[in-house]
Amino acid sequence: MMRKDKWNKILERIWKVCFWISAFFILWVTLQVTTWTSFRVPSHSMYPALMPGDYILVNKWMMGARIFDVWDAIDGKEVEISRLPGIRKAERNDVLVFHYPYPDRHDSLSMDMLLYYVKRCIALPGDTVEIRKGSYWINGTRKDRRWTQRGLGMEPSSGDERQWSAALGWTVQQLGPLLVPGRGCQITMDTLEVKKYGRLIAWEQKKPLTVRNGHVYLGDSLIQSYRFRENYYFMGGDNLDNSKDSRYWGLVPEVYIVGVTTKIWKSVDKTTGKMRWNRIMKNIE
């Protein structure tokens, strides 16, 4: 009888340990999905705000956490993305983490689940963005610089990075004016608008957008105007000399945005392996 009681107590303790481990794991996953997550910064594209080896906290509940089938997205399938209620929308100068939207596509968008970018939000839905002699202008007003620039020498080189230069003759020093479309924004369709927004429209409608004899077709239907269904953002790196961003590959859909970065919770020098204590819990501005 004593042995049986002792065995029951051991089983009870094992069950309690398993219960608390499971509860902790569920809580951790829930927080990761709905509230906070962490990413390591790999490059200098956001220097000096972020440095390689910084570990950043990303706030998901500010814009609302996204709900979708992760496994289908990893397999490259189209997924329906919805958001939980959030506190606010993205704002100019927010530093955002998002999925890279243009992997191996020349005619549409596709969310790369394994590739995350962190950039600053330069222009919002409804804004008109322009680059004149390397300076950003938003809605006709020159943007106060918060980034480094030593002379913009980079130019698109290959693949999707040629989308602005090949189609419109734009460069990283002279770009736009470009309307950043938002939900409900309507444009008149012509060959110029196809060059600007063709991939966005094809992604929204899941149909090819083509030009035949000067007319624009969505699938087999002739269209003269288009009303956007989603919000888009123009993203830029603070280190303009070393950042592949919306100047190269285009606009980011709102549904691809993971969240707003808030703090650096850890920072390790990649060269020395030493902790950078002066960057711990530093606000990202």
Residues whose CB falls within 8 Å of the CB of residue 284, separated by 6 or more in sequence, listed in order: 49, 50, 56, 95, 261, 262, 263, 264
Is 268:276 a contact under the CB 8 Å cutoff?
Answer: yes
Contacts with 11 (C-beta within 8 Å, 6 or more apart), sequence order: none
**Rounded to an integer, what distance in angstroms lies between the CA atom of residue 258 and that of residue 264?**
17
Question: What phi and psi, each to the nearest 5 degrees, are found at residue 54?
Answer: -75, 140
Three-state DSSP at 266 gives strand
pLDDT score for 242: 83
Residue spans of alpha helices (H) in the chain: 2-34, 70-74, 163-168, 191-205, 246-249
pLDDT over 70, % of the chain: 81
Closest by Cα among 243, 188, 275 to 46: 243
Q: What is the pLDDT of residue 154?
A: 44
Exposed, middle or buried: residue 2 (CB in 10 Å: 0-12, 13-18, 19+)? exposed
In this predicted structure, what is the pLDDT of residue 71?
A: 80
Q: For residue 110, which of 232, 200, 234 has the smallest C-alpha distance?
A: 200
Q: What is the structure's pLDDT at 148? A: 56
Are β-strands 135-138 and 128-132 bridged in parallel, bridged antiparallel, or unpaired?
antiparallel
- Expressed in percent and rounded to 5, the helix, strand and coil fractions of the chain are 25, 30, 45
Question: Which segments in the chain show pLDDT lower than 70?
Answer: 1-10, 19-20, 22-35, 104-105, 144-163, 165-166
Residue 170 has what pLDDT? 87
**Sheet architecture: strand order including 135-138:** 141-142, 135-138, 128-132, 174-179
Instruction: Give the bridge partners for 282, in sequence order.
Output: 264
Mean pLDDT of the chain: 84
pTM: 0.84
pLDDT tens digits for range 148-199: 554 444 444 444 455 676 678 888 888 989 999 999 999 999 999 999 999 9
